[in-house]
Amino acid sequence: MDHFNYISGRLFAEGAEVESIAAAAGTPLYVYSKATFLDHLLAIQRAYEVVDPLVCFSVKSCSNVHILAFLAGSGSGFDIVSGGELYRTLQAGAEPGRIVYAGVGKTDAEIIEALKAGIGYFNVESEQEIENLIRLVQLVSPDNPPKAALRVNPDVDPGTHAYTTTGVAGTKFGVSMADADGIFARYGRQSSVNLCGLHVHLGSAGKTVDPYAEAIAKILVLIERLRDKGFRIDTLDLGGGYGADYVTGTAPSAADYASAIVPLVKDRELRLILEPGASIAANAAIVITKVLYCKECHGRKFVIVDAGMNDLIRPPLYDAFHFVWPTCPARGLVPPGRGRFNGLDGTEIVDVVGPVCESADFIGKDRALPPVQRGDLLAVFSAGAYGFTMSSNYNARRRAAEVLVDGDLFSVIRRRETYEDLVAPERL
């Protein structure tokens, strides 16, 4: 699952004691495990190796250039959704031909940057976007037509939160299956853009394999229909959204997904692209936060910590569960796994909340925790995906530092912001 473990009642990230990391770098703090990232990437690469996929890590999930650099060095491509993410991947040394550019609202400037960089694929999401891409190619690189995949909406519900569901009818993403034939008829034979693939993405945090198999079955019917009409379709981008274990043992493994997906696409003369994010990054980080105060009010117990919704917005935004536990629990009470454990002896039910001036500012409600006191450290697990990348300066709070652990060594890979950082862009 990951390389965060309790040894003799104290939490370690790989071989580094977490409390020592926090003493050196302060709190709140993101702590990443390099070994966990690489283990999860390798698991996906091995699970699908029989079809030799292009595995493109989803940069929006975790975008620190130091992390992108070692993922690139381990064979990862990248899934990007903005010009800023393109810049980050190139700064990390990514091979442009292994970059796939998705997103419904690419600007002209962003498209031109990607064309000049020579990225591998554009995932196009509307008829107007295809028209605009053709226009810009003719202006910028008429002799180098890029490859493109049309994102189609298979109307398959993966059963996730409404805000992270993207493959059902009525979302802003992609085009309907019914419209795909007409779009290929109008743009599939022009020379400026090689429209040679289909892209489908169901959403994030999928917990079962069946929706992916259902979506692929629908897409394969469309591919064969388009091929019968003379269009060369050689690429299938299945996007990401594969589940991660926010609660122990609740997500299929890479091998589980592959066992359902590979037989469907094998021998179909298709290059398979995968865009995993959370399944690689989620369990690869924890947030370390310090207890500021404890109080009881109207029958509820609150543990107030120095990490807020600006540091980790997933709980209030998605009602997401992140396991929380002290880094050095009282009486050495090590958790049996990661879940709610509301009946566990030696714990009490509390709300873990942050300092931001919003009632929505919480990390976990009704959580069983060993007794804690002011100054204790808590670890918020599975924070590697959509954690720091979604952080903000709300309440004029400085964004946290990021630390990477490699074995028993750790290094700061993003310094904590200063107050001057908050106002520097406003000094005209």
**Is 357 one of the catalytic residues?**
yes
- Contact at 8 Å (CB) between 299 and 308? no
Q: How far apart are CA 63 and CA 300, in angstroms?
A: 37
What's the CA gap between 426 and 35, in Å, rounded? Answer: 39
Q: Which of 110, 39, 101 is nearest to 70 (CA)?
A: 39
- Reading the block at residue 337, the tokens are 């796994």
Strands 285-297 and 377-380 turn out to be: antiparallel
Q: Which tokens hold the place of 297?
A: 């009010």
Within 220-354, strands assigned E span 235-237, 271-274, 285-297, 300-305, 324-326, 348-353
| Torsion sign, CA atoms 114, 116, 120, 121 | positive
The span from the CA of 327 to the CA of 94, in Å, is 36
Are the beta carbons of 9 and 326 closer than 8 angstroms?
no
> Alpha-carbon distance 144 to 140, whole Å?
9
In the set 56, 196, 297, 357, the catalytic residue is 357
* Catalytic annotation, residues: 357
